[in-house]
Amino acid sequence: MTFQKLLTDHYKNRLWLVVLTALGSLIHYVLIPALFLGGYKVSVVTEGNKLLTVKDAMQIAGAEWFNFSLIFGMLEIILLAAITGIQEFSYLYKNNSVDFYDSQPVAFRSRFIINYASGIIMFAVIYAIGMIFGLAVITACGSGCPALYTGILESYLWFLILYAGIYSFAVLGAVVSGNLFIAFLAGCFISGIEFLFRIIIFGGMAQYFTTMYHIADSEIIRPRSLPLAWYFSYIGDVLSADVDKMEFVTAIPKAFISSGKGMAVCLVVACIACTLAYVAFINRPREAVEKGLCFPILESFVKISLGILGGILTGTISDMIFSSVFSFSVMTFVVIAVVIALICLVGEWIFSLNITKVFNKVWQIPLCIIAAFAVIIIFKQDAFGYDSYVPGVDQIESFALYTQDNYSYSIITTDEEGRGINQDREEYLRNNLSLTDAADVVEVAKIGMKERRKLFGRDSTDFSRPQSWSVTVLYRMKNGRQIWRQMEIPYDIDHAPMDNIIGSNEYKDVYFDLNKTIEGLKDAVSFDTKGRLSLSYNTAQNNETASAEIDDVKALFKAYEKDLNKYDFSYSQGNVCIGTVDVNFAPVSQGMSAENLYRTLPVYEGYDNTIKALKEKGLFLDPLPDIENVSFVIAQYDKVNENGELERSETARYDEKDKISELLDSADINCYGDWSRYSYSMEDISAIVLSEEEIAEAGDTDDPDYYWNHDIGSTYTIRKENIPDFVKTDLGL
């Protein structure tokens, strides 16, 4: 019988699969777009100041359907691929069908090829036909445009690759199993084991390694062998485009090109799975009908893998619950042993389908316990030196270093199309900060890593509040690797290496890239001419805001750049950050709105040019009030216990100018720019400063709550170490 005849014969006897696939294709490419787009009502819409045409609006609707189809399509494909993959080889689960097929004059190789290929060909052909209908539907609905046409073609290719990957996993699961239930579990195991491994190891690292930087190192979790993970990256790029701004026109083809590597990896993975499935099929003992897995060694592999991973996960959680992360806990050991025993016994029960055989191969239990515990010990003891790792100077290509203690979470910049966007500060620094002073970063890192271990790790002896900055470092190595660490730079670190890093032009040009902010604002303003651009100046107590033009921002930034020449680490330590200047753009477009853009810059007391520019704009506020204008000051101390409950409250009022002066001198006016020292203490006090005008308006009372509740006066914090002696006496400190 020719291949074609065998294939035709094959489909005739699996018509329901063909029908199911055709149904999926029909729903995906015809029914949903027809319902979605056919009933779409176009209302008058604006994009910025531009009135969109009906054609644009329908294309946007088409793009919305396309985005939905990527997610819905993924679910369809998972279902179809899994069902088809298992079904194609389900004849292996009954003796009568095995006898029927295997006694026929068809080579096992041919049988595998026919059964495997039929699933792929069926999907490819049916979905291709569906896709053609889909193109016709969106054209008929008026949503057709080159981006969507190519997007549909490209997504079809992705669907095919995703299907091939999941299908191959399902086939592999089917041919190594003796029944449907085990085939389903095997497919899940094959698909998920890498992800499970990664997430458990990541969890362990996150718990036991104090210098691990969780956000960036979450890349560890992403499974490389799972086609779905690569597909998520592709659709993530597509879905992140703003449909209303018609960004899909460039985003769709770009996402496809960027996903080239992912597609290649998925194809390779599918090929590997297919090859393994072929080898398993050829060597499969046909008497394995209704058994668990066909190869006993596979059963052991599955049980041991799950036992060890389950043990590590259990140990990690147990250490967290019993607070024994860096110590030995008998309870953790017991819990690990119990969980592993359960996994192995239940696993044996599932494979043998016979509860009387659960104690077969009990040797696997102690093996898993020892292995899991060994991994936990490796984590606890940091046997591979993760928490003390600092690369060699000559291994580093470049690095990024920045503090986590920061006032600003976003930076105004532009995307690849020149559109003004708010970019996450960390993401921006990660992608753009590229420093080359490797010697200094190594020196700083050695200190920082040790401090981190001392404060949070296994060497921890000091449980008081950290006197350090949380800092993230990214090493870009010469061998292409990227290594992240979290560390604590102590307040009393030697300034020299920090000055070399923070004071370098490499650092400041990126960290304070004001040109990018101007470009972003320009784009936003031109896109939404009715949007509101403003400048604000903020002190610890007050703020002043004024609307602005681009030129105002440029002028201010020009002054700021001059002041930046002074800035380095030592400068930040020796000068107080007396305020922050905020640039804000608020769009007013309805519907398809431009993004709200926001950036904050620190102003130090020595930033003469910036302060002058602010004064010219009428924004500058003195950090402290004029003493002549102060009526009185109320000092207040609230003692709270460990539970946060107020134990006692003491107040003292000062009308004398000399005392007022001393109090104002002691007040903390720090607005906390980068590298500011945080030294909050429970013994800090508050000082409410009331001006003459405020008293005239509100009235005179000694009750600080009155002023606090009515937002009258300016409240300052006086740090414990700066409290004047007379205040200490009066408040009983």
Distance of closest approach, residue 125 Cβ to other proteins, in angstroms: 21
Distance of closest approach, residue 91 Cβ to other proteins, in angstroms: 8
Tell me which residue of 586, 574, 576, 584 sits closest to 611, measured CA to CA: 576
Distance of closest approach, residue 95 Cβ to other proteins, in angstroms: 7
Tokens of 441: 């970063």
Return the number of the residue (50 or 286) whose C-beta is nearest other proteins.
286
Binding site for other proteins (CB under 8 A): 1, 5-6, 9, 12-13, 94-100, 102-108, 110, 282, 285-287
Distance between CA 650 and CA 673 in Å, rounded? 32
Return the number of the residue (72 or 108) whose C-beta is nearest other proteins.
108
Tokens of 191: 């698909």
Distance of closest approach, residue 92 Cβ to other proteins, in angstroms: 12
Beta-carbon count within 10 A of 51 CB: 10
Return the number of the residue (353 or 550) whose C-beta is nearest other proteins.
353
Return the number of the residue (116 or 213) whose C-beta is nearest other proteins.
116
Distance of closest approach, residue 21 Cβ to other proteins, in angstroms: 18
535 bridge partner residues: 546, 583
In contact, 602 and 575? CB cutoff 8 Å: no
Distance of closest approach, residue 12 Cβ to other proteins, in angstroms: 8
Distance of closest approach, residue 89 Cβ to other proteins, in angstroms: 15
Distance of closest approach, residue 163 Cβ to other proteins, in angstroms: 25
Return the number of the residue (99 or 658) whose C-beta is nearest other proteins.
99
Read off φ and ψ for residue 668, nearest 5 degrees. -85, 110
718 bridge partner residues: 667, 685
Distance between CA 91 and CA 54 in Å, rounded? 54
Distance of closest approach, residue 9 Cβ to other proteins, in angstroms: 6
Return the number of the residue (105 or 385) whose C-beta is nearest other proteins.
105
Distance between CA 441 and CA 501 in Å, rounded? 8
Read off φ and ψ for residue 309, nearest 5 degrees. -65, -40
Q: What is the CA radius of gyration of the chain?
A: 33
Residue with tokens 């100046």: 537
Distance of closest approach, residue 110 Cβ to other proteins, in angstroms: 8
Return the number of the residue (113 or 196) whose C-beta is nearest other proteins.
113
Angle between helices 146-175 and 108-140 (to 10 degrees): 160
Return the number of the residue (280 or 501) whose C-beta is nearest other proteins.
280
In contact, 122 and 17? CB cutoff 8 Å: yes
Amino acid of residue 161: I
Tell me which residue of 559, 537, 539 sits closest to 548, measured CA to CA: 537
Distance of closest approach, residue 236 Cβ to other proteins, in angstroms: 42
Q: Is the dihedral of CA 698, 702, 707, 712 positive or negative?
A: positive
| DSSP-assigned letters across all residues of 468-484 | EEEEEEEEEETTS-EEE
- Count CA atoms closer than 13 A to 523's CA, side-chain side: 20
Return the number of the residue (106 or 215) whose C-beta is nearest other proteins.
106
Return the number of the residue (16 or 409) whose C-beta is nearest other proteins.
16
Read off φ and ψ for residue 253, nearest 5 degrees. -65, -35
In contact, 256 and 154? CB cutoff 8 Å: yes
Return the number of the residue (90 or 686) whose C-beta is nearest other proteins.
90
What burial letters (b/e) apply to 100-127, b meaning 16+ CB within 10 Å?
eeeeeeeeeeebbebbbbbbbebbbebb
